[in-house]
Copies of this chain bind each other. A is one copy, B any other.
Amino acid sequence: MPKLGAEPIRRAALVKATIETVGEAGSLEVTVAQIARRAGMSSGLAHHYFGSKEQIFLAAMRAILTLYGAEVRGALATASDPESRLRAIVAGSFAPGSFRRETISAWLNFYVLAQTNAQAHRLLRVYQRRLRSNLRHELRQLVGDRAGAVARGLGAMIDGVYIRAALAEDAPDPQYALDIVMEYIDRELEVTP
């Protein structure tokens, strides 16, 4: 007796299981059966909902990016002046919801998927552009002309900190990550009067 609304629950469970499985394995070479088992269902059902392994991955990637976006928006909600908004964007990037071992590892893998898969590629570009535009918007009021350059630098640094966390032995340390990027901002803002 299939419950009403079972589908969204199933889908969410699969997405969660995908991120966890890929994150743990550190690789996209996980089987649909593994993911389905972790989500508590058969591999057949996973295909029924998503059609293919590729689509399961894309859904998981979308979920990661959506969560990321939500964290940033959440952090922005309480900030008013440009500088705190700028710092809020960065803080949102390393919010504990996103900046977790599995998620980071899954994220890195989806980054690789984007080399191969056009849809994944598009998804990533959209989010990169959005981040850059957010950064630039705040920076314009803080560093004027240099806004574009600093936004590029900040974006790259955030990505770099992420990727390095994927390789760290220990659990990712949001504060450490944050410090690196915040110091860069300190520097930029110091210089510009």
Question: Of B105, B150, B183, which one neighbours A153 at CB under 8 angstroms?
Answer: B183
Q: Sort chain A's interface into a size bin.
A: 35 or more
Per-position binary interface string of chain A over residues 164-190, scored 1 when its CB falls under 8 Å from any chain B CB and 0 otherwise: 101100000000000111011001101
Instruction: Verify if A114 is at the interface (C-beta below 8 Å from B).
Output: yes
Q: Which residue of B lies closest to A23 (CB)?
A: B115
CB neighbors of B among A66-122 (8 A): 105, 108-109, 111-112, 114-116, 121
Write out the residue numbers on chain B whose beta carbons fall within 8 Å of the beta carbon of A124. Answer: 167
Q: Residues of B contacting A153 with CB < 8 Å?
A: 157, 180-181, 183-184
Q: Is the interface of A mostly helix, strand, loop or mixed?
A: helix
Interface residue stretch chosen among A5-13, A24-32, A53-61: A24-32
When distances are taken between beta carbons in the complex, the residues of chain B under 8 Å from A40 are none
Neighbouring B residues of A159 by C-beta, 8 Å: 159-160, 163-164
In the bound complex, do residue B161 and residue A116 qualify as a contact, i.e. CB atoms below 8 Å apart?
A: no
- Known A27-B112, A27-B116, A183-B149; judge A121-B167 contact (CB<8 A): yes
Oligomeric state, in copies = 4
- Which of B25, B108, B116, B158 makes the CB contact (< 8 A) with A160? B158
Q: A149-B179, A156-B160 are in contact. Are A112 and B188 (CB under 8 A)?
A: no
- Chain B residues whose CB sits within 8 angstroms of the CB of A184 once the complex forms: 153, 184
A47 at the interface (CB under 8 A from B): no
Do the beta carbons of B167 and A116 come within 8 Å of each other?
no
Which B residues are in CB contact (< 8 Å) with A115?
26-27, 105, 108-109, 166-167
Residue from A25, A125, A158, A161 having most chain B Cβ neighbours under 10 A: A161
Q: Does A191 contact B (CB under 8 A)?
A: yes
Contact A114–B163 (Cβ < 8 Å): no
8 interchain residue pairs of minimum CB distance: A26-B115, A160-B160, A156-B160, A159-B160, A157-B157, A156-B161, A26-B116, A187-B187
